[in-house]
Structure 1
Amino acid sequence: MSTRAHGPTAGFHWLRRAINVGRHNSRALFAGAAVLMAVWLMPTVLQLVLMAAFKPGEDVTIAIGALMTLLWLATLVPLMGGYLRMIDAGEHGQPAHARDIFQLFRSGAAWGACVRFALLMLLVHLLVGYVLVTLFGQGVMEWYLDAAEKIQQAQQAGVAAGGTPPQLPDAPSGTAGLVGLGSLWLLLFGCAFAIGLGQVAIGGRGVREATVDGFAGTARNLAPLLVMAVLGVGAMAVVAVGMFLVLLVVGGVAGLLHPTLGLAAILPLYVAFLTVLYAVVLSVMYQIWRDVAGPAPVAGPSPPDQLEPHHLEA
């Protein structure tokens, strides 16, 4: 299955369609996003609990972090694949429910394919990150470790709570360039991951083929990807400012009655904001996959009941 190239305006249409995707089944879309958000946070919360309970040394801390990463890959990525399937079902006029995000767990082959794809992409991500730091980040890792050590020492001494903040070393001259390259790589990696995961979860492609499709489709659609990134960052900035003002007003008014009431008032709003954000991000992933690597569009409109499903058997 070959990938397709699109013009720069496709980036705008990906965002527009992603925002409108909830018109088919908003209940399933947002309920599924809430589950994804909870699973996303679960390994981090579990790691913090283990760290607070056992206060392990550096080696054990690294081992716990690696274990939580594997847990995250084994649960979240198949759920993301199920979420993409759920969106696809709604777009083709088929019944879709929030529980459909768990459908890949019903098939060992489908679940295993998603996990292997996630592991392969993680290795690619780490390898590229290592190359970028090696070539363009001279002294950045040493600076980061030194700064982290000083912050940790300040926290242990209680300085960060109310005393003089720690004196951090100046960042190396190449840090800004490395951050720029890293941001660009994250954008490209995210697009490749979206296309590849769609190929595995919906298109039924093998792991290696889906990975190749992901990076090939990304390379062929750099212009719309950059347009989408610029528009997305701009829209996110506006929404974030608006959300901050709403939380500030609601929390301030409720906090006048009682501080706990202020927290209780803003927490549901914040959770709702994150849920919508997760839904839009996953919807963007689906729109990119559909246009770049999904089934080729047929000439003329087709009724939903005449569109052939193209899911993996689960």
Structure 2
Amino acid sequence: MTTKAMGPLAGFRWLMKGINMGRHNPKAVFGGAALILVAALLPTLITMPIQFTLQPGVTGQMLIFAFSIIASMLLLPLVGGYLGLIHASESGRAARATDVFVPYRNGSWLPLVGLGLVLMVAYVLAMVAIAAVAGMDFFSWYMQLMLSAQDGAADPALLDEMPGGLGAALALGFVLWLFLSGVYAISMGQLAIGGRGVLASLGDGFVGGIKNLLPLLVLSLAGLVAVLLFALAMGLLFALVGMLSTMVGSWLLLVIGIPVYIVVLLVTYVVVFGVMYGMWRDVCGGGSVPDAPAEAVTA
């Protein structure tokens, strides 16, 4: 299966695809996203009390990190199932929220986890490439900055002593982030919907990512504008709620803030996965890929 190079405006189209996602079957699309959101929060509910109450040492922190990695890998089959759910919904076929668990039901979860492990190696190699360009001083500075920020605020002295390779590291990191985002979306779509194997899906993802760097750049810029506008709207909303809470009571912030926060997370999941699906459909799917059965998430 060949990958296509799309025009620059395809990035804007992918964003619109994500924003409009769910119009055909909102119950299944938003219900599936809610199930993934709950599954993604469960590991945090386990590790957060340990971090804040027991304050584990270095060994404990490493165990928590390993647990988080394993949990994230086990969540990848849900992503594959959700892409299959979106494909069924967009193709006009029956879909249910619980279709996100299809990979675990039909045994295709293992290739999705395998794909995630290989992509993790790619991310590590990307970090090594950034280190080679920026120098190890950058990573030493970055780790010190992150450690100081854990106490509430970053050390001002560290902010005044930024390493010389910071600009090159940021530029390379941005390009690699664009490229690997495309690789992830395309390869996951190929494995979950396109019927490709792990290595073939990765190959399609890398080739498709290289071919579509320009629309990925447009997508990132359009997404940034959308996020800024959304943040402005949310800021105005909470400013209004804050003024009302001074008259009614601070409980109003919790009553309105928590549901809004959950809705924002839910909509974000739907938009992000909708963008992934739109990218895969344009770059690899097109009209040549037959509609897969609702439970077809093959290796």
Determine if the alignment matches structure 1 residue 168 to structure 2 residue 151: no
1:150-299 equivalences in 2 (<5 Å): 150-151=148-149, 155=151, 166-169=155-158, 170-294=161-285, 296-297=287-288
In the alignment, which residue of structure 2 is the partner of 1:52? 52
Q: CA deviation at 1:203?
A: 1.3
Contact 1:47 1:65 in 2 (8 A): no
SS in structure 2 of the partner of residue 90 of structure 1: helix
CA contact (8 A) 1:252 1:262 kept: no
The aligned amino acid for 1:139 is D
Q: Distance in 1 between matches of 2:234 and 2:19?
A: 17
Report if aligned partners of 1:11, 1:228 keep a CA contact under 8 Å in 2: yes
Instruction: State the distance in 1 between where 2:236 and 2:117 align.
Output: 40
* Inter-partner Cα distance in structure 2 for 1:57 and 1:103: 39
Structure 2 partner of 1:114 = 112
1:134 maps to amino acid: A
Q: Which amino acid aligns with 1:208?
A: L
Aligned to 1:34: 34
- In structure 2, list runs of 5 or more residues that go unmatched: none
- Tell me: CA distance 1:253–1:231, structure 2 relative to 1, closer, same or farther (3 Å): same
Mark the CA change 1:251 to 1:68 in structure 2 (over 3 Å): closer, same or farther. Answer: same
**What secondary structure sits across from 2:63 in the alignment?**
helix
Q: CA deviation at 1:151?
A: 4.6
After superposition, what is the alpha-carbon deviation per residue over 1:109-139, rounded to whole angstroms, capped at 9, x for unaligned?
x100100000100011111112211322441
Structure 1 residue identity aligned to 2:15: L
User: What's the CA shift for 1:149?
Assistant: 4.3
- Tell which has more relative contact order, 1 or 2 (C-alpha 8 A, sep 6+): 2
Q: Give deviations 1:240-273, integer Å, cap 9, x for gaps.
A: 1111211221243135322223222111112111
TM-aligned CA distance change 1:255 to 1:112, over 3 Å: farther
CA–CA distance in structure 2, aligned partners of residues 77 and 49 of structure 1? 24
Quote the offset at 1:308 in angstroms: 4.1
Distance (Å, rounded) in 2 between the aligned partners of 1:277 and 1:151 = 26
CA distance in 1, matches of 2:181, 2:247: 43
Match of residue 304 from structure 1: none
Normalization by structure 2: what TM-score?
A: 0.91
What is the CA–CA distance in structure 2 between the aligned matches of 1:208 and 1:130, rounded to whole Å? 22
**Shift of residue 167 of structure 1?**
4.3
1:64 deviation in Å? 1.7
- The 2-side partners of 1:73 and 1:149 are apart by 26
Alignment of 1:20 with 2:3, yes or no, is no
Q: Give the Cα–Cα distance (whole angstroms) in 1 for the partners of residues 9 and 246 of structure 2.
A: 45
Give the Å deviation of 1:6: 1.3
> How many residues matched?
295
Q: Structure 1, unaligned stretches of length 5 or more?
A: 299-306
Counterpart of 1:312 in structure 2: which amino acid? V
- Report the Cα distance in structure 2 between the residues aligned to 1:220 and 1:149, rounded to whole angstroms: 38
Deviation at 1:289, TM superposition (A): 0.6
Q: Looking at CA atoms only, which structure, 1 or 2, has the larger radius of gyration? A: 1
Equivalent residue number for residue 129 of structure 1: 127
User: Helix, strand or coil: the match of 1:139?
Assistant: helix
